[in-house]
Structure 1
Amino acid sequence: MKNLFLQETNKIKKKKKLLEDKLKVKITIKNNEVSIEGESVDKYEASIVLEAVEFGFPVETSLLLKDPEFILTKMVIKDFTNRKDSSVVKGRLIGTHGKTKNTIEKISDCKIIIKDNEVGVIGHAEDIGYATTAIANLIKGSKQSNVYNYLERINKEKKKK
């Protein structure tokens, strides 16, 4: 049995049956403690998926993490900037009507969630490095157009291979 202490268990409670079926584990939730029973590999995969669900990713997106080719990365905004007002930085990451975030997701083929002072990214192992570099550059103050150009250049290089 593996125990996790999660702050947000509501989404997990709502999708518990689906998660148990897909992850091949038994999930028990008491207050903020989540117990996982099953095979070792399944428990490990389940803990990563539940961490992503708690962070704010939809269950369907979080289940991508069952595939070892997909990775969850969390970035703390404060690690990349000294700005006291993180709402400005989050605004830069999201963009007008979510355009910047959506563009980065499309070009990098990753899923991004911005929560509090953290950015969560789920993506293929090859793509996640490019997405996190783009996000870090935006946090540091690079222009959106420069970040888009960087990602498009990387995409062209990947297509040539």
Structure 2
Amino acid sequence: MDAWLVRMQNRFSLLVPRERIGVIIGEDGKVKDRIERIFKVNLNIDSESGTIEITQTQDGDLTNVLKARDAVTAIARGFSPEDALKLKSDDIILDIIDLREIFGKSDSDITRVKGRIIGRNGKMRRALEELTGTDMSIYGHTVAITGDYEAVSTAREAISMLIEGKQHSTVYKFLRRRRHEEKKKRMTELWIHPE
């Protein structure tokens, strides 16, 4: 099921897979309570339809509503609540690649590409996460990525290479080269602007 979104003033409605509602609520409502407290929002969850309405509290603001929307979407797309709550940081973003936009409704193509992204025993996915510094969830017809902007951009580019059919070895080389460039860039910045 897709996560669709309706914006009304400082309120958002999301449609999430019903099997993820329990994770969003958490044991004894603890995850829901944490989301509400951290982002200063109220969550109204309809377990039957899978609709979640996120509204701003008196002391909250629209930025928090948007971050709460991203955190709920991340959980809906397979992330653990702990990983999703990292989105409270201004430096962390959520990016979702919908494989149906690329392959239509071809389940066989989507399954094949998900297998390429995950790799044998999860090796490719682990490499993507470790070499880019991102967290990733492959769930249903989507690939969701969280991390800082540069890291997510690099991970998205590597995933696009896999979708295009590039060899895993080519993607590994790309990731290692990009990581080396980032490390070199950070070292140069430290050299020029020591703190």
What's the TM-score once normalised by structure 2's chain length?
0.75
2:53 matched residue in structure 1 = 35
1:82 positional shift: 8.0
Greater relative contact order (Cα < 8 A, sep 6+): 1
**Which stretch has the larger CA shift, 3-12 or 103-112?**
3-12
Q: Which residue of 1 is the match for residue 114 of structure 2?
A: 90
> Taking structure 1 as reference, are residues 87 and 152 closer, same or farther at Cα in structure 2, changes over 3 Å only?
same
Does structure 2 retain, via aligned residues, the 8 Å contact 1:5–1:33? yes
Q: Is this contact kept in 2: 1:4–1:34, CA < 8 A?
A: yes
1:50 aligned partner: 72
User: Aligned pair in 2 of structure 1 residues 142, 46: CA closer, same or farther (>3 Å)?
Assistant: same
Deviation (angstroms), 1:109:
0.6
Task: Return the offset for 1:81.
Answer: 5.4
Does 2:2 align with 1:2? no
1:147 aligns with 2:171: yes
Matches within 5 A, 1:69-108: 69-80=91-102, 84=106, 85=108, 86-108=110-132
**Equivalent residues in 2 for 1:57-68 (5 A)?**
57-68=79-90
Aligned-partner Cα distance in 2 for 1:148–1:82:
27
Q: TM-score, normalised by structure 1?
A: 0.90
- Partner residue in 2 for 1:22: 38
Counterpart residue identity of residue 47, structure 1: R
Given that 1:81 and 1:139 are in contact with CA atoms closer than 8 Å, whether structure 2 keeps it comes out as no
Closer, same or farther in 2 for the Cα pair 1:103/1:83, shift >3 Å? farther
Say which one has the larger Rg. Answer: 2
- 2:4 aligned partner: none
Aligned-partner residue type, residue 101 of structure 1: R
Quick one: percent identity of the two aligned structures? 29
Q: Quote the offset at 1:90 in angstroms.
A: 1.2
Indicate conservation of the 8 Å contact 1:81/1:140, yes or no. Answer: no
**Aligned match of 1:13:** 25
How many pairs does the alignment contain? 161
Unaligned 5+ residue runs, structure 2? 1-9, 186-195
Q: How far 1:147 sits from its partner (Å)?
A: 0.5
What's the CA shift for 1:74? 0.9
